[in-house]
Amino acid sequence: MPVAGGTPLSLADIAARLGGDVLGDAETQIRQVATLASAGAGEIGFLTNLKYRSQLATTRASAVIVAPDFADAVDLPRIVSKNPYAYYARLATLLNPRPAMAAGVHPSACCASEVPASASIGPQVTIGARVSLGEGVVLHAGCVLGDDVVIGAGSILYPNVSIYAGCEIGSNVILHSGVVIGADGFGFAPDQGQWIKIPQIGRVIIGDNVEIGASTTVDRGALDDTVIGDGSKIDNQIQIGHNCQIGKHCVIAACAAVAGSVTLQDNVIIGGAAMIAGHVTIASGAVISGGSLVMKNITKPGQYTSVFPLEEHGNWLHNAAQIRHLARLAERVTELEKKLKNTNVEG
């Protein structure tokens, strides 16, 4: 069951804070958001996917959030917004504020740097030398900050986040449990059958309002810094290699792997389990479908997919076998076209 919301707000109160137009009883009280299917009294549902439109007629929600095109599709009290999904997100945040953390340093924390009085430092946290923490920073249990780390105001690190020496985290950043920022990039030079480690002397620089999911790793640069731009959102269990340049407001879904020296320009979307080869640049506004492999530069926006469609195994084997012969088939077609052209000229 969803967690109960806090103090109820009327639709009028909600619209005063978040905008939108109220139709119906503006004094309807809302304590929580919910799906159309699961909502009950005191809850507000939302329609963002047209396949759920029929649920408007059966929902038990006290109110709904709809786009202008559906303002007359339901008789319930409603808030009309051009972007119901974004409105739902803002309303969910309003009704479910993050629990306030008490300021102070837990007795078991080990701090080699000064900590602002407004910061909250949990049990077994380790803070290195010359670390700079902004106002209101929250470090949950077991976080480790190396020397010379910078973390901006309002950022939250959940349990067991590790920030290696010299890395910089912006303001209002959220790093979930197990995130590792600034581990060595995968750099080794071959020498007579052995691998010689290349020191990774760059940093990781993370902008403001970035969120990184649990157990994701961002490697430090070999020479230049690895950079993640303002507003980017990175899901769980993702690898971002050394020297990558991630632009502003990019989205990378779970289990994607981004090899070293990749550049994602602003507003790139990477689907889950996609793989981006090293030294590739992806243009602003490009969308990479989940599971795709990107081996070359993408120079213009649009959606790109390299997934082989799912089918019955025997058919897949047959088609895969034909793919192996495509190069030879292309050569034969070219030869036939040349012969046909010569025949037409002679005739």
Angstrom distances, CA of residue 312 to CA of 309, 323, 339:
10, 17, 39
Cα 42 off chain centre by: 31
CA atoms within 13 A of residue 221's CA, in its CB half-sphere: 20
- 236 contacts 213 by C-beta, under 8 angstroms: yes
Rg of the chain (C-alpha set): 26
Judge whether 140 counts as a catalytic residue.
no
Instruction: Determine phi and psi for 150, rounding to 5 degrees.
Output: -125, 130
Say if residues 319 and 301 touch (Cβ distance below 8 Å): no
The catalytic position among 242, 249, 279, 318 is: 242
Expressed in angstroms, the distance from the first to the final Cα of the chain is 80
Supply the residues annotated as catalytic: 242
